Amino acid sequence: MYEIIRKKTLNPFVVLMEINAPLVAKKAEPGQFIILRTDENGERIPLTIADYNRESGTITIIFQKVGATTEKLAHMEEGDSLADFVGPLGNPTATEGRKKVAVIGGGVGCAIAYPVAKKFFEQGTEVHSIIGFRNSELIILEEEFAKVSSKMKLMTDDGSRGEKGLVTDALKSFIESGEKYDEVITIGPMIMMKFVCKLTKEYGIKTIASMSPIMIDGTGMCGGCRLTVGGETKFACIDGPEFDGHKIDFDEVIARCGTYCEFERHAREETCNLFAKEVK
C-alpha cells in the first residue's frame, strides 16, 4: 500500500499529493509517469510525476479533478493509502547538452513542466520559464518555477495576475529580444502546444511537446494515446510521452481529445453526488 504523506489543494480544481513510494522515487526522472489505482476495484489512471525525493522515498503527483477517479482521489486524505502505484514509466526528458532552454507550461500542464525546468536548472542550464493560466484563481507552482528559472513570465488570459496575454506572446517577446534557445519544451493544453510549435517553427527552434494529456492505459495496449508524428503512428505512453513538436499532427489529436469529455463529466458528477450523500 502506498500512503499519502501530504495533501495540498493548489486551486479549486487541482490537488497535490505526496506519496510514499521509495522504489519508484529511486528511479524517477522528469517526463515520466506512474499508474495508480485508488482501491482494489479502482480504475487504472496514468499521472505524470510532478516531483520526486529519493532521500524521503516520495513521489509528488498533481492532478485536476476531471473524471470519476480523480474526483475520488481528491477525496482521499493524508494517512490513506492507494492500492497500486506503478512506475516510473515512459521515457524521461532528454536534458543533457543544452545551454539555454525555454520551458512553457499551461494550466495543470505546469505540474509536468516544473520537474523538467528543475532538472535543467540543477544541471546548470539557463532556464527561461513561461507559465500561463486563464486567471489568477488557477495559478499553481509560481514560486517553484521562480526558484529554478533565470527568467520567468507569468501570463493570464484576463490579466488578473502577471501579464495579460498568451504564453506565445511571452515567448515571441523573448525571442525577438535576442534570446537564442537550444530547445523549447512545451506542456499544456493541446491548442496551446500547437501554437507554441507553430511559432518556434517560424524561428527554426527545436521544440519538444509532451503528449501526456492523451494517455489512458499507459501500456500501449488500448491505443487511446495514438498520434501521428512525422507521418508515422506513435503511442504517447511507450514511444513518448515527448515528441518533436514540429512533426505532431495536432489537428488530429485535438479532434480526438474531446471524444470522452461528456462521459468523464457525467462520471465525475455521479462520484461527487455519491460523496455528498455519504457526508450527509
- Concatenating the DSSP letter of every residue in 83-122 gives SEEEEEESPPPP-TT-SEEEEEEEGGGHHHHHHHHHHHHH
C-alpha cell at 8: 495540498
pLDDT reported for residue 17: 96
The pTM of this model reads 0.85
Give the CATH number of domain 100-257. 3.40.50.80
pLDDT interval class at 259 (50, 70, 90): low
What digits encode the pLDDT tens for the residues 183-226? 999 999 999 999 999 999 999 999 999 987 767 766 667 777 78
Quick one: average pLDDT of 99-110? 95
Exposed, middle or buried: residue 150 (CB in 10 Å: 0-12, 13-18, 19+)?
exposed
Give me the long-range contacts of 69-74 (CB less than 8 A, separation at least 24).
69/38, 69/42, 69/43, 69/45, 70/45, 70/268, 71/268, 71/271, 71/272, 71/275, 72/38, 72/42, 72/271, 72/275, 73/15, 73/17, 73/36, 73/38, 74/15
Residue 146 has pLDDT above 90, yes or no: yes
Where along the chain do its domains lie?
2-89, 100-257
Q: Could you check whether 2-89 and 100-257 share the same CATH topology?
A: no
User: To which CATH superfamily is domain 2-89 assigned?
Assistant: Translation factors (2.40.30.10)
